[in-house]
Structure 1
Amino acid sequence: MSTSQAVEAAGDGSGSEFRRGLASSLPVLLGTVPYALVLGAQATQKGLGTLELSMMTGLNFAGGSEFAAIQLWTSPPHVLLIVAITFLVNSRHLLMGAALAPFLRDLPQRKALPALFFLCDESWALGLADARQRAAASTAPAFSLPYYMGASLAVYATWVGFTTLGALLGPVLGNVEAYGFDMAFPAVFLVLMRGMWTGMAAARPWLVSLVVAALVHLFVPGAWYVAAGAASGLPAAWLMAGDA
């Protein structure tokens, strides 16, 4: 995705909306920086080069699947396994896109598709929460593309930039988990989940995913708990959707 395409996706909305998106992303960025450094450092310990890591984070742009891929990385890598795990972990984007779909109906595809390239947990949570607030206030359009792009581009630049920095500093940092940086990743997700909390009924798929992932982690070696959590959470969300 080129810079011109990103600017095109932002549309002709006001600069103030774009800046509002940037400002809204700042608390998330504070949590993104530590675990971006962790991923970069872990990647170098697994033998990936800085350019290879930058290409992975820039083209894939999905931190959860990238952590899973790094955990599974060997020399030579088990490509099919990594692809399968990446698909399962990233399959949550199907549900994320479906949740945004009602707010994107009036957006031309030439703007919507480039914008959705930057869809990640953080930008999705910020964009969806803002769209719901604007819809409740009868503000049209409910989905502010400049706001979304401001938040998304900030997260994207921070993620790619600091994973690359982590790769460069990896030999200096040593075992980054010793500093507690690895806690930043689940901490950000807990904050995002708290902002999306609507009650226990809607949270049941999260609980199913958590229990299955925990059990697989206890009894199955390797990173299969990531795939198990994703594979169980998605059908649970679908089956329980009518009861939420």
Structure 2
Amino acid sequence: MSTLESRVHETRHPQTRVEVLRGLRAALPIMIGFVPFALVLGAQASQKGLSFVEVPLMTGLNFGGGSELAAIELWTSPPHVLLIAAITFLINSRHLLMGAALAPLIQHLPKRQALPALFFMCDESWAMALADARKRKALDARHAFSLPYYLGVSAGLYLTWVIFTTIGAAVGPMIGNVQTYGFDMAFPAVFLVLLKGMWKDVRTARPWLVSLVVAGLTYLTVPGAWYVAAGALSGVLSAFLLADNK
């Protein structure tokens, strides 16, 4: 390695570490919010018959809290695998839209970095990455998307989720029905915090309202998890139409 290359490496490495730590610090409140929800999911999974090994395999390979909770709610013995797979696909279909929104920000990355980054994408890391990219763009950063920051966020959220769902599976049989303690409110609370961070003004939030109303009406009138797809698609469509009308 040449002297110039050594200096570049020494310059980049501390900066990468700083960005990773910045991501971890930013994700800390969300990580804390994950804990009770992860414990609830792990406990419910163990009460449905999943083993101490199967729970972290599910949460680690899928990494989608909404679909995992739905899968556990539908779990029977023996499980209806096709039904669970279909509901999981339906609920996680929102990641198609999330990935499309993230794609312009990561197009400069090689596939060996972009694909693993997309694997660790969840609602919270996606929202935080977009918010951070918006701030970096305003500061005229070379690339709006900071991969080390995103990896710091994702690592914190992923490890918290897998570790505490596993702990929930271990202690679940001892504490009974954890929903009676109100821990299941952690997930909505996390989303409210994320929405607050992404808020600009009432005009730009109109698609949120459309999505909320459509999802709520679908939830009340259509059985199953169709409200997820209905809310996502109506939000995207309204954003497109309202943008054209400006």
TM over 0.5: yes
Structure 2 distance, partners of 1:40, 1:212, is 28
Gaps of 5+ in 2: 1-11
Which amino acid counterpart does residue 215 of structure 2 have in structure 1?
A: S
Map 1:56-67 → 2, pairs under 5 A = 56-67=58-69
Partner deviation per Cα, 1:7-46 (whole Å, 9 max, x = no partner): xxxx965210000000000010111000000000000111
Letter in 2 for 1:213: Y
C-alpha distance in 2 between matches for 1:124 and 1:238? 16
Give the Å deviation of 1:212: 1.5
Report the Cα offset of residue 178 of structure 1: 1.4
1:37 aligned residue: 39
Give the whole-Å Cα distance in 1 for the aligned partners of 2:198 and 2:226: 23
Match for residue 205 of structure 1?
Answer: 211
1:24-173 aligned at under 5 Å gives the runs 24-173=26-175
1:50 partner SS: coil
Displacement of 1:210: 2.5
Inter-partner Cα distance in structure 1 for 2:220 and 2:33: 24
Residue 240 in 1 paired to residue 238 in 2? Answer: yes
Report the Cα distance in structure 1 between the residues aligned to 2:86 and 2:155, rounded to whole angstroms: 27
Task: Give the counterpart letter for 1:237 in structure 2.
Answer: G
Equivalent pairs counted in the alignment come to: 226
Distance 1:113 1:101 in 2: 11
Distance 2:113 2:68 in 1: 26
2-structure distance, mates of 1:180, 1:239: 35
Q: Is the partner of 1:14 in helix, strand or coil?
A: helix
Give the deviation of 1:153 after TM superposition: 0.4
Query: How many Å apart are 1:64 and its aligned residue?
Result: 0.5
Q: Is the 8 A contact 2:207 2:236 kept in 1?
A: no
Instruction: Give the structure-2-normalised TM-score.
Output: 0.87
SS at match of 1:210: helix
CA distance in 2 between counterparts of 1:195 and 1:210 reads 23
Change (3 A) 1:121 1:84: same
Amino acid in the other structure paired with 1:202? P
Task: Determine if the alignment matches structure 1 residue 194 to structure 2 residue 196.
Answer: yes
Aligned-CA RMSD value:
1.5
Contact 2:102/2:130 (<8 A) preserved: yes
TM-score by length of structure 1 reads 0.88
Q: Distance in 1 between matches of 2:108 and 2:62?
A: 27
**Contact 2:42–2:164 (8 Å) recurs in 1:** yes
Separation of aligned partners in 2, 1:51 and 1:160: 11
Residue 230 in 1 paired to residue 228 in 2?
yes
Listed as ranges, the gaps of 5+ residues in structure 1 are 1-10
Q: Does 1:15 align with 2:21?
A: no
* Aligned mates of 1:54, 1:46 — CA distance in 2: 15
Give SS of 2:184's match: helix
**Cα-to-partner distance string for 1:72-122 (whole Å, 9 max, x where unaligned):** 000111111111100010001011111111111111111100111100011
Cα deviation 1:181-233 (Å, max 9, x = unaligned):
111111112222222234342212233113322444xxx4xxx1xx1211212
Q: Tell me which residue corresponds to 1:4.
A: none
Per the alignment, residue 6 of structure 1 pairs with: none
